[in-house]
Amino acid sequence: MLTREFLLKADCKTSFGDIEDALLWSCEQRAASLAATLACRPDDSPVWIFGYGSLMWNPIFEAEEVAAATLEGWHRAFCLRLIAGRGTSSHPGRMLALREGGNTSGLAFRLPEERLHEELELLWKREMVTGCYLPTWCELLLDDGRSVTALVFIMDPRHPLYESDACAGTIAPLIARASGPLGTNAQYLFSLEQELEKRGMADENLTTLAHQVRQLQSCHNTLLG
């Protein structure tokens, strides 16, 4: 499990697995990305973060408020080749990102203004190891009817780890066998499935994918037995 303590101490080059230098972002690159994102902050209203994957069950950062939210115009897709954390270069898995179209239900986290930069630095260290996302200010609709502006990590389709084919038949075998220093790729998928179901946000495509991964793992275990 990724923890706050682990992330604070982590050396991005070694802690998540073996990442080639051409893909790994430096501390300076992450800092520049964060500064550029904050420079585009729409106003002085509170900063919200939209969690649609592991941030939902393991946010790590401190939030002053958490609310169910919907993001229009983007949908979940396992379109990021996973070579670290829960996968390796030799046995890559797939990580979740957002692609254009549809909508996504998730959680919105309101960050404390007095610790804003500290919390965002930690978030950038977690999400921008290879700079694969485009941190974007988007409008969220909270479950209580409020509309807020939040930071959303959207897949950069120009990134070398972007994979256009995210259909279940392609990615289920990858997710079923991939693992790394932070655990298995399947564990990530199952945790997200459980969290979405618990919050009444079940995603049909994700549920179907999780079922296929379980079937593949069951067949593999039977063969080994």
Residue 183's φ and ψ, nearest 5 degrees, are 120, -165
Question: What integer pLDDT is reported at residue 219 of this predicted model?
Answer: 86
Polymer length of the chain: 225
Residues 17 and 109: their CA atoms lie apart, in Å, by 28
Strand partners, 139: 149
Contact partners, residue 204, CB within 8 Å, separation at least 6: none
Catalytic residue from among 62, 100, 127, 204: 127
Per-residue pLDDT of the chain (225 residues; tens, 9 = 90+): 789 999 999 999 899 998 999 999 999 999 999 999 999 999 989 999 999 999 999 999 989 999 999 999 999 999 999 999 999 999 999 999 999 999 999 999 999 999 999 999 999 999 999 999 999 999 999 999 999 999 999 999 999 999 999 999 999 999 999 999 999 999 999 999 999 999 999 999 999 999 999 999 998 767 665
Question: What integer pLDDT is reported at residue 223 of this predicted model?
Answer: 65
Question: What integer pLDDT is reported at residue 220 of this predicted model?
Answer: 72
Residues 59 and 3: their CA atoms lie apart, in Å, by 9
Beta strands in 83-225 (DSSP E): 93-110, 133-142, 147-155, 179-180, 183-184
Residues 119 and 60: their CA atoms lie apart, in Å, by 9
Contact partners, residue 58, CB within 8 Å, separation at least 6: 1, 2
186, two tokens:
């399947």
127 assigned to active site? yes
